[in-house]
A and B are shown apart, each in its own frame.
Chain A
Amino acid sequence: MSAGSEQHPLRVAIVGSGPSGFYAAEGLLKSGRMVRLDMFERLPAPFGLVRHGVAPDHPKLKEPIRIYDRIARVPEFRLLGNVTVGRDVSVEELRAAYHAVLFCCGAESDRRLGIPGEDLPGSHTATEFVGWYNAHPDYRDREFDLSQEVAVIIGQGNVAIDVCRILAKTVDELKHTDIAAHALECLAASRIREIHLIGRRGPAQAKFTTKEFRELGELADCDPVVDPADLELNTESLAELEDRAGSVAKKNLEVLKGFASRPARPTRRRVFLRFLLSPVELLDDGGGGGGGGRLEQVVLERNRLEGGPFRQTARATGERLTLACGLLFRSIGYKGVAIPGVPFDPRQGVFPSRDGRIVDEAGAVIPGLYAAGWIKRGPTGIIGTNRADSMATVNSLLADLPTLDTGPKLGAEGLAGLRPGQGPRVVSYADWLVIDGAEVQRGASKGKPREKFTRVAEMLRLLDRPFREKPTEP
């Protein structure tokens, strides 16, 4: 008999507590089967990029946390926070303790530009900056030299726009958000005057959503600047705009035209939206990439578009220009991180899968291993996209029930690495609510929805009572 009955519940380990993990939990809890879900999260704080990615000035987009909170309070669900799968518990152990393991661990590393000078001081990934202003413990101690006057952002997706907006806003526009205190303090002293958002292709191919883009025109002390020459499109791009599939691009272009035609205000900062440019080298103050100095200039190469409508790619023209800048952020995409015991596709940065079932190098399904969200699809789509995606994986899992190992499983109690007195201090959902309450309280006096803790140790200190009593020495 397959698992999922009263006497014989289906035990599933979910790795990662972001949107895809919680929507997978929702799907399993609604399946009509008797399930026991253990969600493993490497940080003490749950909710993945909804907490650590979504921009602090977009509080509405964090509302899905209310839905996740409801799921987390269901008795069949447990959070095991502060546990890193692959380090504190192995995938092999999870496979022995659960009927199925569902990886929802996101895409936590960055794609590289692959150009000389990429690692010069002053050149950063968007991930570092986003993690820093959102109080991700991994990025707490990063430093960004905001005494520079010119910042360049490579990439034109929504993350690039978030980075741009946080750099462009005044302290007054940010101080009542949940931005980390250390970030707000540094941003208050920022001397940035120009931000250049660099796109490889033309305005008709840019990836941002119109709403995020419009916001750049609504800032208190920063104006967008567009070169009208960039708005003269080739016939292929015009054809894209006329097509139904080009409706977002068409709206984006209207916004750009609005930016180009409005009178400039005497603002302290300006955002330059620049197109058809690719970085080819970052130069330091010594004039040579990779030298001992810090970032001074970026060398850009002009591109032209080649190919038919919707298939246009950027081709270098050979024409180069330099832009003096002391700060650069690259935001050109994310990759997943491998976990020992799970196949990994290093090129796509995902766990290879078919219909959510993880497959080995030969393409054969590995029974009991599943993936959902960014680690399955790659870093595309917004929070809600993960809901349909996780439901699809859950449907595969439920269809496989008769073929899964049906023996009784112990769940978290069967994990040697989490035995009393060993391993990490496991953070339950009740523990998290203690941390959550303390954050909200810390924020209240500053008029912030919360003041996040930025260090794991700070969070754990709040939790007086150990998860399981340690054996006391006689």
Chain B
Amino acid sequence: MPTIVTGNCERCRFTDCVAVCPVACFHGDDQMLYIDNNVCIDCGACIPTCPVQAIYEEADLPGELRVWIAINAERAPNLPSITEKQEPLPGAEARKADLGF
């Protein structure tokens, strides 16, 4: 069952998640990260580390966020792998506050 990054990650990219991924399956563009579910082992380590709760196990994905399953599947394999924690994007703190976290 896939693990999915959803829209909350957009324009924020606090990369706490990648630091705990045991198999380096996060990929990113300049907006957000995606999980390559051909590699992800569904261990769930990343889920509680995300400060804006962007990551879900598929079973817990609310209906309106299910579009992200296809988006992760499509984009992750074609983007560079992100394996180290990075500086959050500028404005990330404000975005986090906007999202209510």
What residues make up the interface of A, taking CB atoms closer than 8 Å to B? 19, 30, 60-61, 63-64, 66-67, 209, 211, 214, 248, 251, 382-388, 391
Give chain B interface residues in 29-62, CB to chain A under 8 Å: 39, 41-46, 48, 57, 59-60
On chain B, the residues within 8 Å of A63 by CB distance are: 23, 39, 41
- B101 CB to nearest chain A CB (Å): 9
Query: Which residue of A has the minimal Cβ distance to B49?
Result: A388
Interface-central residue, B19, B20, B84, by most chain A CB under 10 Å: B20
Q: How far is the CA of A386 from the CA of B45 in the complex (A)?
A: 10
- B92 CB-CB contact with A under 8 Å: no
On chain B, the residues within 8 Å of A251 by CB distance are: 60
Q: With A67-B23, A251-B60 as given contacts, are A60 and B41 in contact (CB-CB < 8 Å)? A: yes
Q: How far is the CA of A30 from the CA of B46 in the complex (A)?
A: 22
- B89 CB-CB contact with A under 8 Å: no
- B82 CB to nearest chain A CB (Å): 13
B44, A209: Cβ atoms under 8 Å?
yes
Q: How far is the CA of A248 from the CA of B53 in the complex (A)?
A: 13
Q: How far is the CA of A22 from the CA of B68 in the complex (A)?
A: 32
What residues make up the interface of B, taking CB atoms closer than 8 Å to A? 19-24, 39, 41-46, 48, 57, 59-60, 84-85
| Top 4 closest pairs, chain A to chain B, by CB | A384-B45, A388-B19, A384-B20, A384-B22
On chain A, the residues within 8 Å of B42 by CB distance are: 60, 211
Q: How far is the CA of A64 from the CA of B59 in the complex (A)?
A: 23
A66, B20: Cβ atoms under 8 Å?
no
B60, A383: Cβ atoms under 8 Å?
no
Q: How far is the CA of A211 from the CA of B85 in the complex (A)?
A: 27
- A211 CB to nearest chain B CB (Å): 7
B60, A67: Cβ atoms under 8 Å?
no
- A266 CB to nearest chain B CB (Å): 28
- B97 CB to nearest chain A CB (Å): 15
A382, B45: Cβ atoms under 8 Å?
yes
Q: How far is the CA of A387 from the CA of B23 in the complex (A)?
A: 10
Q: How far is the CA of A66 from the CA of B48 in the complex (A)?
A: 24
B19, B39, B41, B57: the one contacting A387 at CB < 8 Å is B19
Q: With A211-B57, A251-B60 as given contacts, are A387 and B44 in contact (CB-CB < 8 Å)? A: no
A61, B19: Cβ atoms under 8 Å?
no
Query: Which residue of A has the minimal Cβ distance to B20?
Result: A384
Q: How far is the CA of A113 from the CA of B41 in the complex (A)?
A: 34
Interface-central residue, B20, B22, B43, B84, by most chain A CB under 10 Å: B22
Q: How far is the CA of A391 from the CA of B16 in the complex (A)?
A: 12
- A9 CB to nearest chain B CB (Å): 23
A61, A66, A214, A391: the one contacting B43 at CB < 8 Å is A61
B43, A382: Cβ atoms under 8 Å?
yes
B46, A384: Cβ atoms under 8 Å?
yes
A19, A64, A248, A391: the one contacting B19 at CB < 8 Å is A391
Q: Give the dominant DSSP class at A's interface.
A: helix
On chain A, the residues within 8 Å of B22 by CB distance are: 19, 64, 67, 383-384, 386-387
- B1 CB to nearest chain A CB (Å): 8
A67, B44: Cβ atoms under 8 Å?
no
On chain A, the residues within 8 Å of B59 by CB distance are: 211, 214
Q: Can you add 16 more A-B contacts, CB < 8 Å, to A61-B43, A384-B45?
A: A61-B41, A63-B41, A64-B41, A211-B42, A211-B59, A214-B59, A382-B43, A382-B45, A383-B43, A383-B45, A384-B20, A384-B22, A385-B45, A387-B19, A387-B21, A387-B22
On chain B, the residues within 8 Å of A60 by CB distance are: 41-42
Q: How far is the CA of A60 from the CA of B42 in the complex (A)?
A: 8
Q: How far is the CA of A61 from the CA of B23 in the complex (A)?
A: 10
B23, B44, B45: the one contacting A211 at CB < 8 Å is B44
Q: How far is the CA of A406 from the CA of B41 in the complex (A)?
A: 41
Q: How far is the CA of A60 from the CA of B23 in the complex (A)?
A: 11
Query: Which residue of B has the minimal Cβ distance to A209?
Result: B44
Query: Which residue of B has the minimal Cβ distance to A244?
Result: B53
A384, B43: Cβ atoms under 8 Å?
yes
- A106 CB to nearest chain B CB (Å): 16
On chain B, the residues within 8 Å of A67 by CB distance are: 22-24
On chain B, the residues within 8 Å of A388 by CB distance are: 19-20, 85
Q: How far is the CA of A384 from the CA of B22 in the complex (A)?
A: 4
Query: Which residue of A has the minimal Cβ distance to B24?
Result: A67
On chain B, the residues within 8 Å of A64 by CB distance are: 22-23, 41
Q: How far is the CA of A338 from the CA of B59 in the complex (A)?
A: 42
On chain A, the residues within 8 Å of B44 by CB distance are: 209, 211, 382
On chain B, the residues within 8 Å of A66 by CB distance are: 23
On chain A, the residues within 8 Å of B46 by CB distance are: 384
B60, A387: Cβ atoms under 8 Å?
no
On chain B, the residues within 8 Å of A391 by CB distance are: 19
- A209 CB to nearest chain B CB (Å): 6
Q: How far is the CA of A67 from the CA of B41 in the complex (A)?
A: 12
Query: Which residue of A has the minimal Cβ distance to B45?
Result: A384
- B91 CB to nearest chain A CB (Å): 23
Q: How far is the CA of A270 from the CA of B45 in the complex (A)?
A: 30
Q: How far is the CA of A209 from the CA of B60 in the complex (A)?
A: 13
On chain B, the residues within 8 Å of A209 by CB distance are: 44
- B96 CB to nearest chain A CB (Å): 14
Interface-central residue, B21, B39, B42, B43, by most chain A CB under 10 Å: B43
Q: How far is the CA of A61 from the CA of B41 in the complex (A)?
A: 6
